Amino acid sequence: MKVPVYGLKGEVTSEISLAGAFSGPVRDDIIKRAVLTEQSRSRQPYGTDVLAGKRTSAHYHGRRGIEHSMMNREIARMKRIHGSGFLHMTARFVPQAVKGRKAHPPKVTKKWEKQMNKKEWIKALVSAISATANKDVVLQRYRKINGLKSLPLVIDDKIEGLTKAKDIMNVLRALGLENETEKGKKVRAGKGKARGRRYKKRKGLLLVINEDRGIMKAGRNIPGLDVVTWKDIKVNLLAPGAQPGRLTIWTRSAASAAEKLGG
């Protein structure tokens, strides 16, 4: 399919022929699996100290007829402290005792990372790329797009050399997408407000470039805009929350590289 290539002022400068990855089927199931796999790799393992609650001299005497025997004494059979003044015969170690260990604590040995075949992940990536070129899928995420000119949205490689956020905003205004950068943040519901994640921010535009010549640093100051090089592209960026169809702007070189991925 022939796709127009836009300049920095919003005018059509040339055309590019795209097929391959931009015309494949959209597989929601594979995309969701790839997103969950990528998210699991960023999960930091956590767990308690393996000796927490076990650093005690408490022990249990189970033999009958010996000194300090703990049987036939009408007390629960659990490990207790011996000969420590007011702590004598105080239960320790067991989960139900004061300062005892946890019954089933989180363990650092748990494997959070999920596995996925490389070929299957590439298939999910191709499917997510294809979703960015499908207008019906994109409109399910963005119901109020007014200035959308064409999909996939391809722009000249000169945008990679922009070093100021206002210059990027001028390009987005020329393309009719300035409203998509106005992604406000809202206060999170629940206890997360007190745990370092008070605000939630919606995902906006994604700009895929071939080479960073200053635009990535400039793009940080635009809310909702993510700038990523083609080599670092992930399914999670193309389909945030495992929902495909993110509004994506491709540079000409990045679109050409993506086309080869789909064969």
Instruction: Mark whether 118 and 78 lie in a shared domain.
Output: no
Q: How far is CA 27 from the centre of its chain?
A: 19
Q: Total domain count for the chain?
A: 2
CA distances from 172 to 119, 157, 167, 206 (A): 35, 15, 9, 12
User: How many C-beta atoms surround the C-beta of residue 248 within 10 A?
Assistant: 27
Instruction: Mark whether 139 and 194 lie in a shared domain.
Output: yes
Instruction: Mark whether 32 and 49 lie in a shared domain.
Output: no
Give the pLDDT confidence of 116-156 residue by residue, as tens digits: 999 999 999 999 999 999 988 988 887 767 667 788 899 99
Give the pLDDT confidence of 66-125 residue by residue, as tens digits: 777 888 888 898 999 988 889 999 999 999 999 999 999 999 889 999 999 999 999 999
Give the pLDDT confidence of 65-78 residue by residue, as tens digits: 777 788 888 889 89
Instruction: Mark whether 51 and 126 lie in a shared domain.
Output: no
Percent pLDDT > 70 in the chain is 97
Instruction: Mark whether 131 and 149 lie in a shared domain.
Output: yes
Domain boundary among 80, 111, 142: 111
Residues 6+ apart with CB under 8 A from 252: 5, 16, 154, 155, 156, 157
Domain boundary among 93, 111, 129: 111
Average pLDDT over residues 31-56: 94
Decide the pairing of beta strands 2-6 and 153-155: parallel
pLDDT at position 146, please?
62
pTM of the model: 0.82
Instruction: Mark whether 38 and 53 lie in a shared domain.
Output: no
Domain of 92, in residue numbers: 45-111
Instruction: Mark whether 58 and 181 lie in a shared domain.
Output: no
